[in-house]
């Protein structure tokens, strides 16, 4: 019935908002903003009606959660970085129908998920920053999915991504894009040193590791990347423990995925973290390689597919 038309791994660095404002940093994140604008343009060209964002700034300590309220409007200040994002106005429309379909299929596939369609909960800035540049005119409906998952298996996140694709293709009458909104390495600069790392990655090791991962994406080395993801998420300080990336790869077919990533905004450092905008072309896959749900069949903690 429906179609997953576009998938991407995107940055949401708050310095993009600073880049709009008068001051010493005005314009310095324009390449990242331009990448978002291009992704939004492609979504319009493909007829996308709803964008689903796997948001690594939405922290949850139990279950997976979907924010699918009918309408979002507010004035956002970041609790983490109030000197970066302060009084950022937003207004977007949600998609309760799709959100409930996504949750139903996730639960059917063994991943416990709750959809919140009647809620006062607003999206976090992992959703709000990209929508500022892709969706200023409210052209797209928006759904936010929790992806800072503190006690969750990466296998479950991969299965959630696949279940959401199945919900879109089999139960939804429309066209959808999904974004993994999070960085590669996410080791912030030490307090007091942040200004020196405004455009740098924290260490040569992390920067080299990130570049190697991007190369793997561009070469389509998905079997190797999926195998190393749990360890990369930990040793590479992946944002949100890389649950957004597991969700994205799950939706694309995991190690069965056969396309090459297209980098729109080349890798850049930001406050010590490694960032990118990259599109992952959607291809037809069976889903046979996507990990099975884990928490629903596990009685005690099993290491190796979650935080190590």
What are the tens digits of pLDDT across the range 96-124? 999 999 999 999 999 999 999 999 999 99
Distance CA 283, CA 263 (A): 17
User: How is residue 125 written in tokens?
Assistant: 């800035």
Predicted confidence (pLDDT) at residue 263 exceeds the cutoff of 80? yes
Distance CA 111, CA 78 (A): 30
User: How is residue 54 written in tokens?
Assistant: 């796997």
Distance CA 104, CA 121 (A): 20
Tokens 């069976």 correspond to: 286
Q: What value does the mean pLDDT of the chain take?
A: 95
Tokens 């997976």 correspond to: 64
Computed from CA positions of residues 97, 103, 105, 108, in that sequence, does the dihedral angle turn out positive or negative?
Answer: negative
DSSP-derived secondary structure letter, 110: T
Domain residue ranges in the chain: 3-280
What fold is seen in the domain 3-280? Protocatechuate 4,5-dioxygenase; Chain B (3.40.830)
Q: What is the helix (H) or strand (E) element at residue 166, kind and residue range?
A: helix 154-171
Tokens 């991504």 correspond to: 161
22-38 pLDDT, tens digit per residue, is 888 899 999 999 999 99
Distance CA 37, CA 55 (A): 19
Total-model pTM:
0.96
127-158 pLDDT, tens digit per residue, is 999 999 999 999 999 999 999 999 999 999 99
- N residues, the chain: 308
High-pLDDT (> 70) share of the chain, %: 97
Residue pair 70/42 in contact by the 8 Å Cβ criterion: no
Distance CA 132, CA 127 (A): 9
């Amino acid at each position: 019935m429906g179609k997953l038309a576009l998938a991407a791994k995107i940055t949401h660095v708050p310095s993009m908002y600073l880049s709009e404002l008068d001051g010493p940093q005005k314009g310095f994140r324009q390449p990242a903003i331009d990448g978002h604008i291009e992704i939004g343009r492609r979504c319009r060209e493909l007829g996308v009606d709803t964008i689903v964002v796997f948001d690594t700034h939405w922290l949850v300590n139990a279950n997976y959660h979907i924010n699918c309220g009918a309408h979002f409007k507010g004035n956002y200040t970041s609790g983490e970085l109030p000197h970066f994002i302060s009084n950022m106005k937003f207004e977007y429309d949600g998609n309760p129908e799709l959100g409930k379909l996504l949750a139903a299929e996730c639960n059917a596939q063994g991943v416990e998920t709750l959809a919140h369609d009647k809620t006062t909960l607003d999206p976090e800035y992992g959703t709000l920053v990209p929508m500022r540049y892709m969706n200023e005119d409210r052209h797209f409906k928006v759904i936010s999915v929790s992806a800072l998952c503190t006690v969750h298996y990466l296998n479950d996140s991969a299965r959630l991504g696949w279940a959401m694709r199945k919900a879109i293709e089999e139960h939804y009458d429309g066209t959808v894009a999904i974004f993994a909104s999070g960085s590669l390495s996410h080791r912030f600069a030490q307090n007091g040193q942040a200004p020196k790392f405004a455009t740098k990655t924290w260490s040569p090791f992390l920067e080299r590791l990130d570049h190697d991962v991007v190369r793997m994406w561009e070469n389509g080395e998905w079997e190797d990347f999926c195998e190393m993801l749990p360890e990369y998420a930990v040793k590479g300080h992946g944002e949100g423990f890389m649950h957004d990336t597991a969700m994205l790869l799950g939706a694309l077919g995991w190690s069965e995925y056969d396309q090459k990533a297209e980098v729109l905004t080349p890798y850049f450092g930001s406050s010590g973290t490694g960032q990118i905008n990259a599109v992952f072309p959607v291809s037809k896959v069976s889903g046979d390689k996507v990990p099975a749900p884990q928490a629903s069949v596990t009685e005690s903690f099993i290491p190796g597919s979650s935080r190590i």
